[in-house]
């Protein structure tokens, strides 16, 4: 395949990422890329290009034989799946940034590529500009990994940085993350750690060859984080970061969780601030590696989309090499963490302790009020996750996860088996 063949691109979505990708392509004419069609949803919206450049019917792009490949960057996961799966059924080459869609439909999308010969790349969907999907899929295709963990969400990291460095309140800090184009259309996905959970699902497919169900993964966010929590961490020389982790336990089981974590300067993630993301890959033979870069924003994400477009021109496809060994991998909640739990209402805090089977003596007091610490099974947090969220209870992890007697073990890859 000629690496500099002219390519005609159909772009679906012209928001923060679509515009970012467009700018980057426009600034580099030597790449021989032309964005010939752009599909948008809302007529009459002020945009940086004249109205005649747009169509309101994305389906037209799928059928256009003049287009060499498609870029899908819309904010609607269901519609994105309809469009991308239809494109793959036509054997098309597609780049997407839509992690919510991928986390829900990855097995089907992999199957469609095998069946119809199209290609789907999605580097931009995980950690913005950090080339982590390709690193796991290509470079570590045959190396067992002990863990893949990190800060996978730029918006929540931005909010935490603003709260701890400048003493901002949660609300204004989130409004800034939205104004800068980092947050999802529904920011609950960022603040509630649903977005990094989707990214963990995607990375699990490449790091371990398993297709996890997002709902099986514990995800706790930062909606309940307060100045008291930030001050508590700072008093111990720590910061609060939302850490997503995929960990292979010594017995071969896999665990995945996304929770706030109290981290000290010994962690590579301690200095990852604002919209930056960081990924630690702990490989069996290579040892630990650390990748850091901008995890959100139009240009960083547009840059990752461009990398995929150029890779599609070269004929790159993901290998999913570890699927061959995947049946041995099971997702488990048979773990416990050392948890820090705080809520401004002492009555709520006591109630939460009973849910988490922590004794009343777990409650401690500092200048900011009451909090509790203790070892809590992940299964217990998972079972009460909806109540913890709705009450705005802030739970953070301290230190590593520990395997305990298995409580629940989920069989993964059922979705894949169903396709066979």
Ligand X SMILES: NC(=O)C1=CN([C@@H]2O[C@H](COP(=O)(O)OP(=O)(O)OC[C@H]3O[C@@H](n4cnc5c(N)ncnc54)[C@H](O)[C@@H]3O)[C@@H](O)[C@H]2O)C=CC1
Q: Least distance in Å: CB of 272 to ligand LTNE7NMQ? A: 12
- Does residue 75 interact with ligand X by CB under 6 A? yes
Contact between 317 and 117 (Cβ < 8 Å): no
Q: Least distance in Å: CB of 65 to ligand X? A: 20
Active site residue 199: yes
The option from ligand X, ligand LTNE7NMQ, none interacting with 17 (CB < 5 to 8 A, set by class) reads ligand X
**Binders of ligand LTNE7NMQ among 131-170, rule CB under 6 A?**
153-155
The option from ligand X, ligand LTNE7NMQ, none interacting with 153 (CB < 5 to 8 A, set by class) reads ligand LTNE7NMQ
Question: According to CB under 6 A, which one of 123, 190, 229, 336 is a site residue for ligand LTNE7NMQ?
Answer: 190
- Does residue 229 interact with ligand LTNE7NMQ by CB under 6 A? no
- Does residue 12 interact with ligand X by CB under 6 A? yes
- Residue 111 phi/psi, 5° resolution? -60, -40
Biggest distance spanned by C-alpha atoms of the chain: 70
Q: Least distance in Å: CB of 187 to ligand LTNE7NMQ? A: 8
Q: How many angstroms separate the CA atoms of 59 and 51, rounded? A: 18
Give DSSP secondary structure letters for 114-171: HHH--EEE-GGGTTTT--HHHIIIIITTTS-EEEEEEE--HHHHHHHHHHHHS---HH
Q: How many angstroms separate the CA atoms of 238 and 229, rounded? A: 11
Q: Which is nearer to ligand X, 55 or 141 (CB)?
A: 55
Per DSSP bridges, beta strands 335-342 and 363-366 are: unpaired
- Does residue 42 interact with ligand X by CB under 6 A? yes
Question: According to CB under 6 A, which one of 9, 33, 40, 257 is a site residue for ligand X?
Answer: 40
Q: Which is nearer to ligand X, 137 or 275 (CB)?
A: 275
Binding mask 72-111 for ligand LTNE7NMQ (x = CB under 6 A): ----------------------------------------
Candidates 52-60, 114-122, 179-187, 244-252: pick the segment binding ligand LTNE7NMQ (CB under 6 A).
179-187
Question: According to CB under 6 A, which one of 13, 128, 209, 374 is a site residue for ligand LTNE7NMQ?
Answer: 128
**Which pair of tokens denotes residue 230?**
């930030």
Q: Which is nearer to ligand LTNE7NMQ, 159 or 376 (CB)?
A: 159
Q: Which is nearer to ligand LTNE7NMQ, 183 or 312 (CB)?
A: 183
Q: Least distance in Å: CB of 334 to ligand X? A: 32
- Residue 288 phi/psi, 5° resolution? -75, 140
Give DSSP secondary structure letters for 390-418: HHT-EEEEEEEEEE-S-S-EE---HHHHH
Question: According to CB under 6 A, which one of 148, 296, 326, 353 is a site residue for ligand LTNE7NMQ?
Answer: 296
- Does residue 331 interact with ligand LTNE7NMQ by CB under 6 A? no
Q: How many angstroms separate the CA atoms of 67 and 7, rounded? A: 8
Question: According to CB under 6 A, which one of 184, 223, 229, 336 is a site residue for ligand LTNE7NMQ?
Answer: 184
Candidates 81-89, 178-186, 244-252, 322-330: pick the segment binding ligand LTNE7NMQ (CB under 6 A).
178-186
Question: According to CB under 6 A, which one of 24, 296, 337, 372 is a site residue for ligand X?
Answer: 296
- Residue 116 phi/psi, 5° resolution? -110, -5
Q: Find all residues with CB under 8 Å of 332, minimum gap 6, and list them.
A: 249, 253, 254, 255, 406, 408, 409, 410
Q: How many angstroms separate the CA atoms of 371 and 358, rounded? A: 12
**Direct distance between the N- and C-terminal alpha carbons of the chain, in angstroms, rounded to an integer:** 31
Q: Which is nearer to ligand LTNE7NMQ, 84 or 341 (CB)?
A: 84
Q: Which is nearer to ligand X, 173 or 358 (CB)?
A: 173
Q: How many angstroms separate the CA atoms of 417 and 215, rounded? A: 18
Question: According to CB under 6 A, which one of 25, 183, 203, 210 is a site residue for ligand LTNE7NMQ?
Answer: 183
Which of 99, 199, 239, 241 does the annotation list as catalytic?
Answer: 199
Q: Find all residues with CB under 8 Å of 326, minimum gap 6, and list them.
A: 208, 209, 210, 412, 413, 416
Closest CA relative to residue 345, chosen from 391, 407, 379, 413: 391
- Does residue 194 interact with ligand LTNE7NMQ by CB under 6 A? no
Contact between 240 and 230 (Cβ < 8 Å): yes
Interacting residues with ligand LTNE7NMQ (CB under 6 A): 128, 153-155, 182-184, 190, 195, 295-296
Q: Kindly list the catalytic residues.
A: 199
């Amino acid at each position: 395949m000629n690496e500099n063949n002219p390519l005609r691109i159909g772009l679906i979505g012209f928001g923060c990422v679509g515009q970012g990708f467009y700018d980057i392509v426009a600034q580099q004419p030597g790449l021989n890329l032309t964005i010939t069609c752009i599909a948008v949803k809302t007529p009459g919206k002020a945009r940086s290009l004249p109205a005649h450049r747009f169509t309101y019917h994305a389906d037209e792009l799928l059928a256009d034989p003049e287009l060499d490949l498609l870029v899908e960057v819309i904010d609607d996961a269901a519609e994105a799946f309809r469009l991308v799966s239809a494109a793959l059924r036509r054997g098309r080459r597609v780049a997407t940034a839509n992690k919510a869609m991928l986390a829900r439909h990855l097995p089907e999308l992999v199957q469609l590529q095998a069946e119809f010969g199209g290609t789907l790349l999605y580097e931009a969907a995980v950690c913005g500009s950090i080339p982590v999907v390709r690193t796991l899929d290509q470079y570590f295709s045959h190396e067992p990994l002990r863990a893949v963990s990190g800060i996978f969400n730029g918006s929540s990291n931005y909010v935490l940085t603003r709260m701890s460095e400048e003493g901002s309140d949660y609300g204004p800090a989130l409004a800034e993350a939205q104004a800068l184009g980092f947050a999802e259309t529904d920011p609950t996905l960022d603040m509630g750690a649903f977005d990094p959970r989707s990214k963990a699902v995607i990375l699990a497919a490449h790091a371990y060859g398993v297709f996890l169900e997002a709902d099986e993964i514990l995800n706790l966010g930062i909606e309940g984080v307060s100045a008291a929590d930030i001050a508590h961490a700072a008093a111990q020389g720590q910061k609060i970061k939302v850490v997503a982790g995929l960990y292979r336990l010594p017995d071969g089981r896999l665990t995945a969780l996304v929770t706030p974590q109290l981290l000290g300067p010994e962690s590579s993630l301690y200095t990852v601030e604002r919209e930056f993301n960081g990924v630690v890959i702990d490989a069996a033979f290579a040892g630990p590696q650390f990748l850091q870069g901008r995890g959100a924003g139009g240009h960083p994400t547009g840059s990752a989309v461009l990398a995929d477009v150029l890779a599609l021109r070269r004929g790159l496809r993901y290998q999913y090499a570890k699927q061959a060994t995947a049946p041995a991998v099971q997702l488990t909640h048979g773990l416990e963490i050392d948890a820090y739990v705080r809520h401004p209402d002492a009555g709520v805090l006591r109630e939460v302790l009973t849910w988490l089977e922590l004794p009343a003596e777990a409650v401690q007091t500092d200048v900011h009020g009451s909090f509790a610490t203790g070892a809590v099974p992940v299964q217990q947090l998972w079972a009460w996750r909806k109540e913890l969220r709705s009450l705005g209870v802030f739970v953070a992890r301290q230190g590593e996860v520990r395997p305990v007697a298995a409580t629940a073990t989920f069989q993964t890859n059922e979705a894949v088996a169903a396709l066979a």
